[in-house]
A and B are shown apart, each in its own frame.
With several copies, the nearest count.
Chain A
Amino acid sequence: MYKIWAIFRKDLIIEFRTKDSLTSMLFFGIVVLVIFNFALGSLHETIRSAVPGVLWVAFTFSGTLGLNRLFAAEKENGCLQGLLMIPADRGAIYLGKMLASFIFMLIAEAVIFIIGLVLFNLTVWAEIPYLLLVFVIGTLGFSAVGTLLSAIAVNTRLREVLLPLMLFPVILPILISAVEATDIILNAADYRALKLPLTIMTAFTILFGTISCLLFERVLEE
């Protein structure tokens, strides 16, 4: 348990020192927003219906970037090799890394979301708890699969290509549900419709979390 924590903490310290992942995650996310805004400049009245999609594009981009970096950092000096030699369940490495990517993504999402609000002129005080729920579940699912897949990708030559290539199709159900749920929250008032996408997201997250945790041991090994 505290090993999970140790791995998480280490990523946090490195991040705190270099500000590498978070800044680039934020930056890409914000750029997506800004350019979307710019591209949709002429369609101001319809913008609200595009916001959920735009937000999740931004989240996905920044998340993929973050995941890539989180494992690339382990490669630099053969650090992953050091990790593989520790006398601990490799599940601990998985959970530690997943926790780190989850937290980083949530932070990035929060900032991106706030900037999105400003850019798109939205006010959403009442909806925040619901949005939070959707963001947390969606991000959890994302980092559950993402961590496994980036552990696969990091050992290949095509690392930076392979991660999105594997991740996006796999993550699509959760992404679509998340966009749908966000859309319902922002644009429709009928919160009962939330049930379906939220169920799908949750089922997906649990399913992939379990599978990933089980398969992780097989995957980590050079």
Chain B
Amino acid sequence: MIEVRNLAKHFGRFSALRNLNLTVSDGDFISLFGKNGAGKTTLLRILAGLSRPSSGELYIKPSRQAPSRFIRGRIGYLSHDTSLYMDLTALENLRFYARLMDVPANAPALSERMKQVGLSGRERDPVRSFSRGMQQRLAIARAFLHDPDILLLDEPFTGLDSSGGDFFKDYLASARAGGKTCIMAIHDFRLGYEIADRLVVINGGTIALDIPKSSLNYEQFHEKLKHLLA
């Protein structure tokens, strides 16, 4: 369970987040919508323990504080950046992170991962030579190497082609079936609605809407969101 109480994050005189309250139960699949600059990335970074809130409380079960070493192993964070080493090959990148995440780092297991994200055959190419979508695929493989319980996704579909998008939707569906928790920042209304079972809108740094998907059908939701983000 994740609980956020009265969270605020200031950059100088600018408040990116303020007065933000959010409770996420285990197994929740949340789509996070919001205008450009609404504070989605800021929130996800705080949840991932990469940024310190200016004030407020953050509580991730079972520890009552910023994610500790134990919590870190349960979180998978896919950010705007790929966190890949450009001068290592795809396989070397995965092997490195696998070692650090206490996951089997043998070549067959990792090749299997590469295959899942549709990069088989490119294992030995340096990441620098990958196209944008290929880098995003590898970043996905990397971020979820350790099969985390909590997925924090920041516009994960960026740069993916249709088959990559399909793969990732499947991945999320199976994660959901496996009882994982997920918070995903996304701009595509339809896709976000489709994947999530809870819809959260952040506006002006605070939660403007937080409803279960079942309470609105897509058209109603679309109307409401258009209105909120106008």
**Which of B50, B75, B87, B102 touches A14 (beta carbons < 8 Å)?**
B87
Q: Is B218 positioned at the interface, with any CB of A under 8 Å from its CB?
A: no
**Which of A73, A79, A87 touches B102 (beta carbons < 8 Å)?**
A87
Tell me whether A77 and B85 are in contact (CB under 8 A): yes
Q: A6-B96, A13-B92 are in contact. Are A86 and B72 (CB under 8 A)?
A: yes
Separation of A88 and B100 alpha carbons in the complex (Å):
7
Residue in chain B with minimal CB distance to A75 = B81
Q: Is B227 positioned at the interface, with any CB of A under 8 Å from its CB?
A: no
Q: Is B77 positioned at the interface, with any CB of A under 8 Å from its CB?
A: yes
Q: Enumerate A151-166 residues with CB–CB distance to B below 8 Å.
A: 157
Residues of chain B within 8 A (CB-CB) of A221 are: 50, 52
Q: A87-B69, A222-B50, A222-B51 are in contact. Are A6 and B83 (CB under 8 A)?
A: no
Q: Is B86 positioned at the interface, with any CB of A under 8 Å from its CB?
A: yes
| Residue among A3, A85, A88 with max Cβ neighbours from chain B (10 Å) | A85
Q: Is B84 positioned at the interface, with any CB of A under 8 Å from its CB?
A: yes
Separation of A86 and B48 alpha carbons in the complex (Å):
11
Q: Is A76 positioned at the interface, with any CB of B under 8 Å from its CB?
A: yes
Tell me whether A79 and B75 are in contact (CB under 8 A): no
- A83 to chain B minimum Cβ distance, whole angstroms, is 7
Separation of A88 and B101 alpha carbons in the complex (Å):
8
**Which of A10, A17, A85, A88 touches B77 (beta carbons < 8 Å)?**
A85
Residue in chain A with minimal CB distance to B51 = A222
**Which of B81, B88, B146 touches A78 (beta carbons < 8 Å)?**
B81
Separation of A17 and B48 alpha carbons in the complex (Å):
31
Q: Enumerate B125-148 residues with CB–CB distance to A below 8 Å.
A: 126, 142, 146
0/1 per residue, B42-61, Cβ < 8 Å to A? 00000011111000000000
Q: Is A169 positioned at the interface, with any CB of B under 8 Å from its CB?
A: no
Tell me whether B100 and A6 are in contact (CB under 8 A): yes
Q: A86-B72, A86-B97 are in contact. Are A81 and B79 (CB under 8 A)?
A: yes
0/1 per residue, A77-119, Cβ < 8 Å to B? 1110111111111000000000000000000000000000000
Q: Is A7 positioned at the interface, with any CB of B under 8 Å from its CB?
A: yes
- A28 to chain B minimum Cβ distance, whole angstroms, is 21
Q: Is A18 positioned at the interface, with any CB of B under 8 Å from its CB?
A: yes
A residues with CB within 8 A of B = 2-3, 6-7, 9-10, 13-14, 17-18, 73, 76-79, 81-89, 157, 221-222
B residues with CB within 8 A of A = 48-52, 69-70, 72-75, 77, 79-88, 92, 96-97, 99-102, 126, 142, 146
5 nearest A-B residue pairs (beta carbon): A87-B73, A78-B81, A82-B83, A6-B99, A86-B100
